[in-house]
Amino acid sequence: MVDEEKHCPIIRPTLTLVLVDSEIELVPKKYWSHPAVVVNAKKRKKRPSMVLLDSSLHHSLFKDNDQKNRRGRPDIVHQYLLLSLDSILNAEGRLEIYVHTRNDQLIVIDRSTRLPKNYNRYSGLFEELFHTGTVPTGRDPLIRLIEDMDLPSSLRYIRSKKGGDDRPTRTVLLHPDGEPMNTWELFGKLILNEGIENIICLVGGFSHGDFRSAVEENSDMKLSLPGGTLKVWTVISELLVGFRGIGS
């Protein structure tokens, strides 16, 4: 008689974070000869084509106010990655971390990545990533960038990586217009009441405006945390710690 219990792996709920429409990109070609780009690239001994768009350096590029306020926020991605990678949830092996960008690239982050804490070193690393597609270069890159991945493609990729769709899954959109709820209430409902084992949370990776991707069509529910429009690091903290409070 085979002891089935023994061969059955222990299933613990896992959380997948996707930062959606993140405002991270290299300086677009049409701005390569703009003085603000040339001066800053020279200071850093980089070619303009190799530099991340950064609102704190390049705000004069955009005349349109929506663009000026929104584009060039690699710092948001940095904060998101530091918080996620260094979280207790990640140390417990119960977290997956993705970045989807405004230009429909999907960045896949290995959970063992040790990201530079310093912003300028992180920028250098991600400039290499956007140029070569992988960092560190070599056989086993820890961070990979995949092109032509709109949100539906990204979610298909993420679900397939988790062994297909056979585990009960919910995709939750964090949005100021969503149903007001704390994260521990959300996870309590999904994990304890509904037996969901695999929760994917979509969080906007931008500071102004709304999602560009079709987030509503690609999620099962829409949730709003207390306080309305929050910073990305605030939302990520609430998710990481709220999940641990329930899913442990």
Beta carbon of residue 240, minimum distance to a second copy (angstroms, whole number): 6
* 28/93 with CB nearer a second copy: 93
What is the Cα–Cα distance from 36 to 85, expressed in whole angstroms? 33
Taking the CA atoms of 238, 242, 243 and 248 in sequence, report the sign of the dihedral they define. positive
- CA gap 171, 57 in Å, rounded: 36
Pick the stretch among 49-57, 95-103, 131-139, 162-170 that binds a second copy (CB under 8 A).
49-57
**Residue 85 identity:** L
Q: Any contact of residue 209 with a second copy (CB under 8 A)? A: no
Site string for a second copy, 79-108 (x = CB under 8 A): x--xx--xxx--xx----------------
Q: How far is the CB of 11 from a second copy (least distance, A)?
A: 20
The answer to whether 24 and 52 have CB atoms below 8 angstroms apart is yes
Residue 15 DSSP class: E
Q: Which DSSP state fits 52?
A: B
∠ at Cα 163 (157, 168), nearest 5°?
95
Single out the residue of 182, 197, 208, 221 in contact with a second copy (rule: CB under 8 A). 182
Q: Which residues bind a second copy (CB under 8 A)?
A: 43, 54-56, 75-76, 79, 82-83, 86-88, 91-92, 117-121, 182-184, 225-227, 230-231, 233-234, 237-238, 240-242, 244-245, 248
